[in-house]
Amino acid sequence: MLAAFGRAFKTPDLRKKLLFTLFIIAIFRLGSHVPTPGVDYTQVQACLKAAPTDNTFLGLANLFSGGALLQLSVFALGIMPYITASIIVQLLTVVIPRFEALKKEGQSGQTKMTQYTRYLTIGLAVLQSSTLITFAENPQNLFGSGCTNILVDHAIPTILIMVLTMTAGTGLIMWLGELVTDRGIGNGMSILIFTSIAARFPESLWAIQQQDGSWFKFFAVIAVGFVVIALVVFVEQSQRRIPVQYAKRMIGRQMYGGTSTYIPLKVNMAGVIPVIFASSLLTLPSMVAQFSRSSTNTDNPGWVDWIDAYLVRGDHPIYMAIYTALIIFFTFFYVSITFNPTEVADNMKRYGGFIPGIRAGRPTAEYLQYVLTRITVPGAIYLALISLIPLIALKLVNANANFPFGGTSILIIVGVGLETVKQIEAQLQQRHYEGFLR
């Protein structure tokens, strides 16, 4: 594998793409540490050390921003507005006929969908930056008690400059990601998310060691991490291949068809989306309780105290049970809107394809739905188990919610890593070089 890396850098055009990708990553990480105008950077760092947040959603957003969110840097919002916008546009294709028609138009329709995603990203960036600054005016919402005055000035012009700066940072991140997609290696947005999460790994691991100074616990966590990575790689590469046979057809004087292929159905077809949906939905009660909480914290309504006890931290069994149920639900929901067995069966029938032993048309759609359901069940359970790892670690080793070997972090790290390696391998094989995967 190391020899293949060397060959990749010896190939001029591939070396240029790799170096360009590394250059963009360096700019992205630099922007994550540049403070937004109007923020007291020294006070923010003191708050981070004194009172790290226990809010699950803030922890997730901070993870995707590479730690830039709670530092209130120029790139504080990270890639989250773009992820949210992409998910919303993808879901709208099911409900809005115009979006569904654009999806079927091919490259031109995809270009328009991308443009809509960009506009929505900027709108969400304005909304999220305004919300973040509103929370920053009362730092206890971000860092807990004992943290005050992280903003230099509370004047409206300063607040507007901060919103504009964070929104512009999101636009710049979106542009950098598209540059990597066009001129670098891999999907640009995925690479930037990978960078943000990977940048938090050393800090999270070292925090576990610093809690009680136990090197045994430190190396035990790393050993568990390797096992989890191996499991994730195995499941992410697993797929059910449904054989498809195409009949021979005479078109003019040419004979077409007669080939055999297959439909690959991955065990985890939903990716990391159900985990993000479930985490986001579970934060809504705590956000509502935050605005309903009394200033003295002594005469809160009963439902606010219940939410504080069971739905704020993730180490309670009730939280874990609800989290698991939501992940399983969203896995089936997302798979159902991204893979349409009826549409696949109709396309196969139109081009003369059939599954051996299954009649074309409706029986094929019913068979695909049957197989898809049976595959999605272990996929949903797998996502739930991986997502519970950080919550169990929070209970056992007192780790924070950003425990590196589990949940969204490990799913994204492994998924993006595998996809990028495959792209590099494909380019190496085009030049008759030995690839990474043997």
> For residue 145, which phi and psi values (nearest 5 degrees)?
-70, 155
The set of residues, in sequence order, having a beta carbon less than 8 Å from that of 268 and lying 6+ positions away, is 235, 236, 379, 382, 383
Domains and CATH numbers, the chain: 1-12+194-438 (1.10.3370.10), 32-184 (no CATH)
pLDDT bucket at 428, cuts 50 / 70 / 90: confident
- Tell me what pLDDT residue 377 has: 92
Closest among 48, 126, 135, 39 to 81, alpha carbons compared: 126
189-224 pLDDT, tens digit per residue, is 888 888 888 887 787 777 777 776 677 777 887 888
The set of residues, in sequence order, having a beta carbon less than 8 Å from that of 47 and lying 6+ positions away, is 139, 142, 143, 146, 147, 150
266 Rama sector, left if φ>0, alpha if ψ -120 to 50, beta otherwise: beta
Q: Helices 407-430 and 2-10 sit at what angle, rounded to 10 degrees?
A: 60
Rounded to the nearest integer, the mean pLDDT of the chain is: 79
276-295 pLDDT, tens digit per residue, is 788 777 777 776 766 666 55
Whole-prediction pTM? 0.77
- Tell me what pLDDT residue 284 has: 74
Distances from the Cα of 268 to the Cαs of 16, 175, 235, 239, 409, in angstroms? 34, 29, 7, 8, 16
Mean pLDDT, range 179-184, rounded to an integer: 88
354-404 pLDDT, tens digit per residue, is 888 888 888 889 999 999 999 999 999 998 888 888 777 666 666 555 566
Rounded distance between C-alpha atoms, residue 233 and residue 410, angstroms: 10
Mean pLDDT, range 40-67, rounded to an integer: 66
Which of 153-167, 273-287, 299-313, 401-415 shows the lowest per-residue confidence on average (mean pLDDT)?
A: 299-313
The set of residues, in sequence order, having a beta carbon less than 8 Å from that of 100 and lying 6+ positions away, is 93, 94
Residue 164 has pLDDT above 90, yes or no: yes
Mean pLDDT, range 41-57, rounded to an integer: 65
CB 144 within 8 A of CB 6: no
